[in-house]
Structure 1
């Protein structure tokens, strides 16, 4: 009985020692995937109204274009570095997929077309202001 107990304890100690040591140190890769923003339903008129060219306060141009594929509508924002898909998250707000950018389209109450776009980081720091 005592021998079985000693063998079990030795096996447990050996197992714990083997798993506690570094395994493949320096060769493991950790991939962190952030939460995807929740997409909100976008009215057809909003899809049409946000498209256009906006002059940024730093001299660059923001171009928002759309693509329709059957019933799917996709918007893209281009700040001069190539188009990036943006998704509607509600209340005239969009986020860029794969980038730290948020777009808030603002329009006066009397107009349907937005005339101002505030571009900020996801943390809320304003990066640019655009006028149509």
Structure 2
């Protein structure tokens, strides 16, 4: 008899907790965003020298533009699907804000090649000026 009472009590408790949780229980969406690498101060010549158009292997064009506004110098990169802001994170390396895209510029004075990759190192495109 005691076991039946415990089972009934446990069932009632589960129902009351379910009702208290409401109809949205378990339907919330949690979005996990990785941290952005720390931005490194960019020298003025770096800002100027990375800007331009780079031809991608697949025929598209990578366009890097710069603007100067109230918050300083801003670089954007466009792979053909709209511009994304990029920040300088180290020697000739940039990352897109809130996207898993990295840009590594190579060349002596003026970059003539850009490797576009993911954070994991998967190469997405190779671009040449």
> Counterpart of 2:104?
104
Aligned to 1:34: 34
Task: Tell me the residue number matched to 1:127.
Answer: 124
* TM-score scaled by length of structure 1: 0.77
For 1:122 and 1:33, locate their aligned partners in 2 and report how far apart those are by CA, in whole Å: 13
The 3-state SS of whatever aligns with 2:45 is helix
Distance 1:100 1:71 in 2: 23
Shift of 1:27: 2.7
1:6-45 mapped onto 2 (5 Å cutoff): 23=21, 24-45=24-45
CA shift for structure 1 position 103:
0.2
Number of aligned residue pairs: 112
What's 1:49 paired with? 49
**Structure 2 alignment gaps of length 5 or more:** 1-9
Q: Which moved more, 1:26-35 or 1:73-82?
A: 26-35
Return the offset for 1:71.
6.2
* CA RMSD in angstroms, aligned pairs only: 1.9
